[in-house]
Amino acid sequence: MRGPHNIWRLARTGATLERTGAMKIILDAYDAPPLLRVAARIIGWPIQFLGDKGDPAMPPATRALTALGPAYIKFGQVLSTRPDLVGDELAVQLRVLQDKLPPFSMQAARQAVEAELDRPLESIYSEFSPPVAAASIAQVHRARLVDTGEEVAVKVLRPGIERAFRKDVDAFYFAAWCIEFLSPSFRRLRPSDVIEHFDGVVKGELDLRLEAASASQFAANTEGDEGFALPTVKWHESSRRVMTMSWAEGAALGDNAALDAAGHDRVSLGERVLQLFLNHALRDGYFHADMHQGNLKVAPNGDIIAYDFGIMGHIDEYTRRVYAEILYGFIKRDYQRVAEVHFEAGYVPADRDVDEFARALRAVGEPIFGMDANHISMGRLLSYLFEVTERFGMETRTELILLQRTMVVVEGVARSLSPQINIWQVARPIVEDYIRGNLGPRALARDLGRTAMVLARFGPRLPRLVEQALIRQVAEPEPPQGGGWRNAVLWGALGLVCGLGAAAVAWLVAG
C-alpha cells in the first residue's frame, strides 16, 4: 500500500518537524545542501500549523518524535543506535527518548490476555494489577499465578498496535522512496535499507514470542555468571501478544539513594555491570543492547537483574576475535598490531598504507590514554576509531555500531554508580582472558577439530561431489589455458585428503 495516499501523513510529519525546530537539527545532521534547506523551509513553514507542537521542555528532535506517536518514538530509538547515520549530536538527543505513553484500559488488557491464552484471566492469575509501566508498544502488569502463587510480570501489546505501526512504516517506506528519487546524493545513506532494518526490529518487538526466546537464550548463556540474574519466561502463560515472566524485585540501578540505603556497594556494581556486558559481547556474542538504568535492577542479595529483551545484539565468533584483538592492541598501545588486524580482517582495503593507518590510530589512542582515569572512555575510543576507519575506506558494520552505542550506555551506567571508575582497568582482565582462550595454539587446535568434525559429516558425500565436479569438467569445454582439469583434480584430491583426515580424527575422538 505504499503510495501517494501517504502524502498527508508525511505532510503532518514535516509540519511537526518544522514547528518543533527538529527540521533544522535533522538537516544539519545530514549536512544537507543549501538548496534542500531552502526547499524544506519554503514547503514546511506555511504548513507548520498542521503539525503538533509537542512538549517545549524537550529537545527539538525528541519533542517532535514524541508528539508524532509510538512508531516515531520507536524509530527514534532505533536511529539512536546508528550515529553513523544521524551523527553523534542527534544520536545523543534521540537516546533520551522516553518510551512512555498513557496506559490502555484494564478491560482491554483483560480481553487481550483471555483471547491470547484462551482461558479466563482468573484461571491464570489470582491477582492482576493496574499497569505499572506503559510504553509505545506494550504495557506491564504485576500479577500472581494461580497454579504456583508466584509473582510475575505480564507484558501485553497495545490494542491495534500492529495496524498502527504498519501504517506509519508504510509511510516511512514511501518517504525513503521519495528521498532516493528526488535526491540522488542521499542514496549513499541507503534510506530504504534503514527503514527495512527498522521494520525488522519492530516486527520482532510486535511478536512477544520472539522476545521470550531472546530472554531464554540470554538466560542459558549467562546461567553461570556470578552476580547476574534474569527473570524466567513462563511459556505456558505467553503467546504472540502476551508474555509472562517472573517478577524482578529490587532497587532501580539508577536510584543511588535506594542502593545506598539497601547497603549495596556502588563501586562494585559499576565494575560488575561493565564486566558483564564485555563478557556477554566477547564470550557469547549475544548481548543486551538496551542496558540503560531503566532496564536494570539490583536484587536484595546484590545480583544485577536485567529485563526487557526487545533489542539484543549479536556478533559472530570471527568478528568477536577481531574486536578483542583491536581492544587488546589499544590497551597495550600496540597501534601497529591494531592496524594489521584491520587489514587482515579485510575491514580496510588492501591498497591502503598500513603504516599510515597505524599512525592515524596512534592519533586516536594517545590522547585518550593521556586522560585521567575517570575520563577514559572505551565508547569514545570506538567512536573515534570508526571515524578513522571510515576515512580509510572501511564500510559501516552495523553490529559494531550497535556494540559501540551499547558500550557508551553501559559506561554511562557504570559512571553513574562510580564516577571515578577506570574503564580500562576494569575491562583489561576480561579482554585478556578472552584473548588467552580464543587466540593462540589452543584456539587453533579447537578450530581445526571443529573443521574436521564438519568434514566428517560430509565424508560420505565427498566422493560423489568430486565425481560430479569431474563429470561437469568433461561435459563443458575446457578453457584455453587448461586450468579447469587442474582445478578439478586439485579440489578432488583436497577433498579426499580432508575426508580421510576428518574420518581419522573422528575415529580417534570416538576411540
Active site residues: 290
CB count within 10 Å of CB 57 equals 6
- Residue 104, SS3 per DSSP: coil
How far apart CA 217 and CA 232 sit, in angstroms, is: 11
How far apart CA 263 and CA 299 sit, in angstroms, is: 11
Cell 559506561 belongs to residue:
411
How far apart CA 166 and CA 198 sit, in angstroms, is: 12
Q: Are the C-beta atoms of residues 449 and 499 closer than 8 Å to each other?
A: no
Q: What's the sign of the alpha-carbon dihedral 288, 289, 295, 298?
A: positive
Q: Are the C-beta atoms of residues 364 and 384 closer than 8 Å to each other?
A: yes
Beta bridge partners of 233: 245
How far apart CA 155 and CA 373 sit, in angstroms, is: 41
Q: How far is CA 93 from CA 80, 245, 369, 430, in A?
A: 8, 32, 27, 31
Which amino acid is residue 259, in one-letter code? L
Q: In what order do the strands lie in the sheet with 296-298?
A: 228-229, 304-306, 296-298, 251-252
